A = this chain, B = another copy of it.
Amino acid sequence: MSQPIRLLIVDDHQIVRMGLRALLQLEADLEVVAEAGDSEAALRAFHQHRPDVTLLDLRMPGGGLETLKQIRQHSPEARTLLLTTSEKEEDVHACLRAGARGYAFKSMPPNALANAIRVIHGGGLWIPAEVARIDSNRKATPELSPRELEVLRLLVKGLTNPEIGELLAISRSTTKVHVAHILEKLGVADRTEAASEAFRRGLLPD
């Protein structure tokens, strides 16, 4: 290993940044060349330092996913490892679609993290079994249309079909059609379960 793998750490929690830096310093072939605590700083640091691998927190101000997309927009070859705590289905898919090379959990043992970084640096993908499982599930569950998402947002607030119809300036009949599609696509039986699924999958921006 002549040249160390140069890393960029992006996480809004300074605690996590320092922890990652401390952990990764233990590996001789890894070098943290920059840190960033928000989306803008991440983009600046990326273009300035051109890291081999970027560690990106999913949940941060400015949006980890948006940051990923912006990085990939200018540098499609960028190798990015998502770091996160929870695994909401929507997040996983959105990230993989956006071109993340790996999806890791903060709870993983440190040496596994180092291995993930090496795999990604070598051009590979690092997808844990849980994520792969989610990913295969996903193909069976189609995406909601924009209109259906609008209805879903009102539905989880406890609004009835007539109320939703009034707010969206459509009839109760149309609302019913949207709700029926939502139930079908989420694979659930009623609106209450749909609300639960929406939260579980992270379909809503809270």
- Additional A-B contact list (8), CB under 8 Å, known A15-B20, A21-B22, A156-B195: A12-B107, A15-B23, A19-B20, A157-B193, A158-B188, A158-B190, A158-B192, A195-B195
Given A22-B19, A195-B196, A199-B199, are A13 and B106 neighbors across the interface (CB < 8 Å)? yes
Can you list 29 contacts pairing A with B, beta carbon distance less than 8 Å?
A: A12-B107, A13-B19, A13-B106, A14-B23, A15-B16, A15-B106, A15-B110, A15-B113, A16-B19, A16-B106, A18-B18, A18-B19, A18-B22, A18-B23, A19-B19, A59-B85, A156-B192, A156-B193, A156-B195, A156-B196, A157-B193, A158-B188, A158-B192, A158-B194, A160-B190, A192-B192, A192-B195, A193-B195, A195-B199
The reply to whether the CB of A17 lies closer than 8 angstroms to some CB of chain B is yes
Query: Which residues of chain B are near A157, meaning CB under 8 Å?
Result: 193, 196
Please give me the residue from chain B that is nearest to A60 by CB atom.
B107
Which applies to chain A's interface (DSSP): helix, strand, loop or mixed?
Answer: helix
Q: How far is the CB of A178 from chain B (nearest CB, A)?
A: 15
The reply to whether the CB of A132 lies closer than 8 angstroms to some CB of chain B is no
The reply to whether the CB of A32 lies closer than 8 angstroms to some CB of chain B is no
Instruction: Give the one of A16, A85, A191, A206 with max B CB within 10 A.
Output: A16
Instruction: Give the one of A17, A22, A191 with max B CB within 10 A.
Output: A22
The reply to whether the CB of A180 lies closer than 8 angstroms to some CB of chain B is no
Contact B110 A14 (CB under 8 A): yes
The reply to whether the CB of A125 lies closer than 8 angstroms to some CB of chain B is no
The reply to whether the CB of A155 lies closer than 8 angstroms to some CB of chain B is yes
Please give me the residue from chain B that is nearest to A110 by CB atom.
B14
Given A13-B107, A107-B12, A109-B14, are A193 and B158 neighbors across the interface (CB < 8 Å)? yes
Within 8 A of B (CB), among A136-187: 155-158, 160
The 4 closest A-B pairs by CB, nearest first: A158-B193, A19-B19, A15-B19, A199-B199
Tell me the bound Cα distance from A17 to B17 in angstroms.
Answer: 11
Please give me the residue from chain B that is nearest to A157 by CB atom.
B193
